[in-house]
C-alpha cells in the first residue's frame, strides 16, 4: 500500500467514526479544562474515557462527584450513567480514537516554561498509540511545541504523523464561572501539522463546538493563544501602572476607566487589581519571551507588563503597611484578614492567585493572618505555598476585631455593606467601594 492510500485509509476511517459518533474520546488531564470537555462529548453521544494520574480525582469522578466548584455533580453523575469513566490506566489509550491532552504548562522557578507535564504525558501514551488516532494538544505553550516536542514522541514507535496518526494543536479557551460562555459556545482555533491532520482535528471538534477557526499550522494556533492572553496581560499591566499614577495624584482610577469606557470606539476597559492570577495570563507571556530569545529577540514590552503585574501584591502590601502606620500600628502583631483568595471572583481556582503572595507578605512581616473565602473553605495543597488556614465566617464581631481587612477578590457572595460597616480599616484592591471615607483605602 502506498503512503498516499495508507493516509486516506487511516484518515477516512477516523473521519467516519467521528462523524457517526462511534469514536471513543480520550481526555488526558481531568481538571478545569478536561472535565468540561469530557462532559460535553458525553452529552452529545460519544463514549469518553478520562485519564489522570490522580487516583483520588479518578475515584471522585467515577463516584459522580467533582471537586471543581462550578461543575455540577449531577452532570458528572449523568455522564457516568451515559458511559463516561475515569482511569489511571494509560494503556487504555489504545481504546480511543480522539485524544485531547489537557495538562498543565506552568513556569519553573526561573520563570521558564515547564513542559514536563506535556512531555511526560506524551511518553506515557506513546507505547499505546495505534494507526487511525488523532492527538490534540490543548495546553497553552510556545510556538513550535507540537512540532518539536509532541511529534517525535508520537512517532517513537514507527507511526507517521499525517499518515498513520494525526496531530493538532487547539488551545483551550475556558472561562470558569462565566455563565455567558460554555465549552461549546466559545469558538475554537484548530491547527494541524499537515492538511490531513487539520481534517482530523476539525472532525474531532466540529460536533462538540459550535464554531471552529481553522488556521494554517500548529505554530499559528499556538501563537494565537499566546496573543490572546498577552493582550490581556499587557493591558492589565498598563492599567495597574495607571492606578499607581492616579493614586499619587489623588484621582480615582475606576472613575477614570468608567468615563473612558463611554467612548464607543477605540477603547476597551481593563481594570486594575492586586495582581494577575489563573493558569494563563500570569504565565503565557513568559512562554513567548523565552522562545523569542531563541530568535535573538528581546520582548521588552511584554516583559515590562509582567514586571508591573508581578509587583502588584507588594504595592498592595505597601498601602496596607502605610495605612496601619498612619493609625500608629505596625504590620507585626496586627490582625489582618484577606477577603477572597481565589484568583478571580466566584471561582475556587487558586492557581497563581495574587492573594497568596499578599498573604505571604503579611505573614512574613509578622501579621496575624486570617482569610475569608466562601469558595475556598480550606487553604489547598499548593506546590510552592503553604498555610494551615481555614476560611473564617464574616460576622460583625470577626470584622471588628481585625486591625485591617484587605479586599483581594471581589466575590459576589460577600456582604459588602457588612464589611464596610464593621471593618476598622478596609484596603480595597478592586474598586468595590467608590465613596471617599476615612477607613477605606484604595489599593
Distance CA 122, CA 154 (A): 7
Helices (H), 82-170: 116-126, 145, 151-154
The neighbour count for residue 239, using CB atoms within 10 Å, is 19
As given in the structure block, the three cell numbers for residue 342 are 481565589
The CB-side HSE value for 104 (13 A sphere, CA atoms) comes to 14
Element (H, E) at 24: strand 24-28
In degrees and rounded to multiples of 5, residue 51 shows phi and psi of -120, 135
Give phi and psi for 212, each to the nearest 5. -105, 150
Q: Which of 122, 280, 328, 370 is catalytic?
A: 280
d(CA 23, CA 203): 11
Q: How many CA atoms lie within 13 A of 285 on its CB side?
A: 27
* Rounded Cα gap, residues 338 and 65, in angstroms: 29
Cell of 325: 502606620
313 vs 414: CA distance, rounded Å: 21
Contacts of 227 (CB under 8 A, 6+ apart): none
Measured CA to CA, the distance from residue 293 to residue 74 in angstroms comes to 47
Which spans in 92-217 are helix H? Answer: 116-126, 145, 151-154, 195-205
Active site residue 280: yes
CA distance 224 to 342: 27
Q: What are phi and psi of 24, to 5 degrees?
A: -95, 130
Q: Is 83 left (phi over 0), alpha (psi -120 to 50) or beta?
A: left
Q: Are 114 and 105 within 8 A, CB to CB?
A: yes
Distance between CA atoms of residues 338 and 140, nearest Å: 30
Q: How far apart are CA 135 and CA 154, in angstroms?
A: 9
* Degrees, nearest 5: CA angle 54-154-148: 100
Beta bridge partners of 361: none
**List of residues 6+ apart from 8 with CB closer than 8 A:** none
Residues annotated catalytic, as ranges: 280
Amino acid at each position: 500500500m502506498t503512503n498516499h492510500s495508507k493516509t486516506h485509509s487511516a484518515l477516512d476511517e477516523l473521519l467516519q467514526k467521528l462523524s457517526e459518533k462511534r469514536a471513543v474520546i480520550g481526555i488526558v488531564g481531568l481538571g478545569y479544562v478536561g472535565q468540561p470537555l469530557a462532559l460535553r462529548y458525553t452529552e452529545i453521544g460519544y463514549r469518553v474515557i478520562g485519564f489522570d494520574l490522580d487516583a483520588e480525582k479518578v475515584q471522585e469522578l467515577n463516584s459522580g462527584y467533582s471537586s471543581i466548584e462550578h461543575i455540577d455533580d449531577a452532570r458528572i453523575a449523568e455522564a457516568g450513567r451515559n458511559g463516561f469513566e475515569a482511569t489511571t490506566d494509560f494503556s487504555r489509550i489504545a481504546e480511543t480514537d480522539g485524544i485531547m491532552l489537557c495538562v498543565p504548562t506552568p513556569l519553573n522557578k526561573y520563570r521558564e516554561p515547564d513542559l514536563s507535564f506535556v512531555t511526560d504525558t506524551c511518553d506515557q501514551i506513546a507505547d499505546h498509540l495505534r494507526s487511525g488516532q488523532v492527538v490534540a494538544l490543548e495546553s497553552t505553550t510556545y510556538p513550535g511545541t507540537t512540532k518539536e516536542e509532541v511529534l517525535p514522541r508520537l512517532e517513537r514507535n514507527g507511526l507517521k504523523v499525517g499518515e498513520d496518526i494525526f496531530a493538532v494543536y487547539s488551545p483551550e479557551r475556558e472561562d470558569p464561572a462565566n455563565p455567558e460562555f460554555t465549552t461549546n459556545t466559545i469558538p475554537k482555533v484548530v491547527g494541524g501539522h499537515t492538511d490531513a491532520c487539520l481534517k482530523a482535528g476539525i472532525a474531532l471538534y466540529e460536533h462538540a463546538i459550535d464554531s471552529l477557526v481553522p488556521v494554517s499550522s500548529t505554530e499559528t494556533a499556538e501563537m494565537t493563544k499566546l496573543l490572546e492572553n498577552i493582550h490581556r496581560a499587557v493591558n492589565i499591566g498598563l492599567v495597574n501602572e495607571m492606578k499607581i499614577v492616579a493614586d499619587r495624584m489623588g484621582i480615582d482610577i475606576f472613575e477614570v476607566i468608567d468615563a473612558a469606557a463611554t467612548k464607543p470606539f477605540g477603547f476597551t476597559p481593563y481594570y486594575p487589581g492586586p495582581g494577575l492570577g489563573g493558569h494563563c495570563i500570569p504565565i503565557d507571556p513568559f512562554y513567548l519571551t523565552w522562545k523569542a530569545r531563541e530568535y535573538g529577540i528581546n520582548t521588552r514590552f511584554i516583559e515590562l507588563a509582567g514586571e508591573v503585574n508581578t509587583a502588584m501584591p507588594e504595592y498592595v502590601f505597601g498601602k496596607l503597611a502605610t495605612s496601619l502606620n498612619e493609625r500608629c500600628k505596625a504590620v507585626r502583631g496586627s490582625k489582618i484578614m484577606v477577603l477572597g483568595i481565589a484568583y478571580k471572583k466566584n471561582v475556587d481556582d487558586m492557581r497563581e492567585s495574587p492573594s497568596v503572595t499578599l498573604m505571604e507578605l503579611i505573614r512574613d512581616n509578622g501579621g496575624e493572618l486570617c482569610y475569608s473565602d466562601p469558595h475556598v473553605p480550606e487553604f489547598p495543597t499548593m506546590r510552592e505555598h503553604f498555610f494551615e488556614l481555614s476560611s473564617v465566617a464574616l460576622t460583625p464581631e470577626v470584622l471588628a476585631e481585625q486591625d485591617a481587612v484587605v479586599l483581594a477578590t471581589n466575590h459576589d457572595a460577600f456582604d459588602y455593606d457588612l464589611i464596610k460597616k464593621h471593618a476598622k480599616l478596609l484596603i480595597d484592591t478592586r474598586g468595590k467601594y467608590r465613596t471617599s471615607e476615612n477607613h477605606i483605602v484604595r489599593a
